[in-house]
Amino acid sequence: MGSYEVPFTLPPPSYPSNCLKFLEALERSSVYESGAKCMVPLNIILVGAGLGGLATAIALTQNGHRVTIYEQTPVLGEVGAGIQIPSNSTRLLFRLGLKPYLAPYVTEPERISFRRWQDGRVIGNTELVPDFIENYQAPYYVIHRAHFHSALCERARDMGIEIKLGAKAFDYDPVAGSITLADGTVHTADLVVAADGIRSVARKVVLDGHEMPFHKPGFAAYRATVDVDRMRSDPEVSWILEKPSLNIWIGDGRHVMTYTIGAGTAFNMVLSHPDTSDPSTWDPERAVEDMRKEFQDWDPVLTKLINMVEKTMKWPLMTVSPLNRWVSGKLLILGDAAHAMLPYMSQGAAMAVEDGVGLARALSKMTSPDQLSDCLKIFERVRCIRSNQMQEASLLNGRLWHFPDGPLQQARDAAMEREVKGVPFVHSPNQWSDPATQMWCYGYDTEGEIDKAWEMAEPKKLMSFL
């Protein structure tokens, strides 16, 4: 009896299904290794050498474009402490050649544990190792923000990307494709990409002079690190260091997220709490004392950790309204300039990495300079949908985690009980574990979505699609 040979390419089902997800690994191994080189190389100005700007410059350069970065600070560097690099971002960074650059600095947590605010009892659990590598072909990392930035800088320099420091972009001309620096000089290119952050100057130009107001959801966060040697000497807290994990204590209006960074040399803490006050009134000298008061009645293990903090910085949490426009002529915005979001899905920087790779993929479709506008519109359409949905998911986590004790909290905790016990489940209020959310978040195919949008936008269909 002859065998039936299944074709490598199967048509995707019209109904919601992940039954063909297993084919992605085969498709990546045959398609993605070489990358999609551009047929129309562009001279590109990129404003902003933050995480998103550097990742975008690397993606564009790898695809054959010439990129010059203009950065307003005189010295490259990042402030802050820990940052997560989830699998949807790690997978792309590896394809950009970042794996050896990140290796000395990253920690790979084994799981994410949600804990009850009062006693630290585990109420939710997401297995990261080996699940995320097996399901999404990439690890889930945590790292110090400065180390992440230095890895991107080193990769960019090794690729020959020019970074001009002390070069503040004062104005943009989307028709000419130019920037004006604070010193009055004008620089022109085929395309200007602005990754200039939440207080973006370019965003106002893209929006025809209208500024998108910031939204303050009424929260602030303390960021701090604890000396791991001090933790190891205390048996009441040393167990947290035995296996690398993310631990999140959740309670009424507050949560605390912890994990090790610096390849295990420091313990990172982010403490979110309600705060509607003006940041100009905050007293840095009282920050540690104020932080301890916010969580004084919480789990004794957590409060002991908080009492080990010697210094902290307090940050207001802000977002911008979802945008449906990122492009004007030869100017586009991406990263926080386009979609600043709350950190509750740990996807802010990851979305910027996706933006950069998605832009490189869109520009690779060009066979003529006349197609630039079409490529940018498709990029804008695809990335607006993705980032706006991630903003929504982040806002939702901010509500799911912060229930006061009562019926909602009890129903949430009961719904996560199956994942704690390690038995099968089909839904969870823990969005890291919820099967549908997890697949959408971490299994997202950035380049594949651009490819599908381009295929749909045949010349006769382009205007109706957009």
Residue 69, Cβ neighbours under 10 Å: how many? 24
Q: Is residue 112 part of a domain?
A: yes
Q: Is residue 18 part of a domain?
A: no
Q: Is residue 416 part of a domain?
A: yes
Residue with tokens 């973006």, as numbered in its chain: 200
Q: Is residue 266 part of a domain?
A: no
Q: Look up the CATH number of the domain holding residue 447.
A: 3.50.50.60
Residue 448's alpha-carbon distances to 31, 84, 443, in angstroms, are: 11, 24, 11
| Strand, helix or coil for residue 162 | strand
Q: Is residue 208 part of a domain?
A: yes
327-328: strand order across its sheet: 162-164, 66-70, 43-47, 191-194, 331-333, 327-328
> What's the total number of domains in the chain?
1
pLDDT tens, per residue, the chain with 466 residues: 455 454 456 888 888 888 888 777 666 544 444 456 899 999 999 999 999 999 999 999 999 999 999 999 999 887 778 999 999 999 999 999 999 999 999 999 999 999 999 999 999 999 999 999 999 999 999 999 999 999 999 999 999 999 999 999 999 999 999 999 999 999 999 999 999 999 999 999 999 998 877 788 899 999 999 999 999 999 999 999 999 999 999 999 999 999 999 888 899 999 999 999 999 999 999 999 999 999 999 999 999 999 999 999 999 998 888 998 999 999 999 999 999 999 999 999 999 999 999 999 999 999 999 999 999 999 999 999 999 999 999 999 999 999 999 999 999 999 999 999 999 999 999 999 999 999 999 999 999 999 999 998 865 454 444 4
What does residue 3 show for φ and ψ, rounded to 5 degrees?
Answer: -95, 145
Question: Which domain, by its residues, includes 342?
Answer: 43-215+319-465
**Joined tokens for residue 265:** 């040399």
pTM score, two decimals? 0.94
Q: Is residue 277 part of a domain?
A: no
Give the bridge partners for 250, in sequence order. Answer: 116, 255
Contact 407, 254 (CB under 8 A): no
Q: Is residue 193 part of a domain?
A: yes
Dist CA 151 CA 147 (whole Å): 6
**Joined tokens for residue 102:** 């990140």
Q: Is residue 448 part of a domain?
A: yes
447 residue type, one letter: E
Residue 280: CA count within 13 A, CB half-sphere: 0
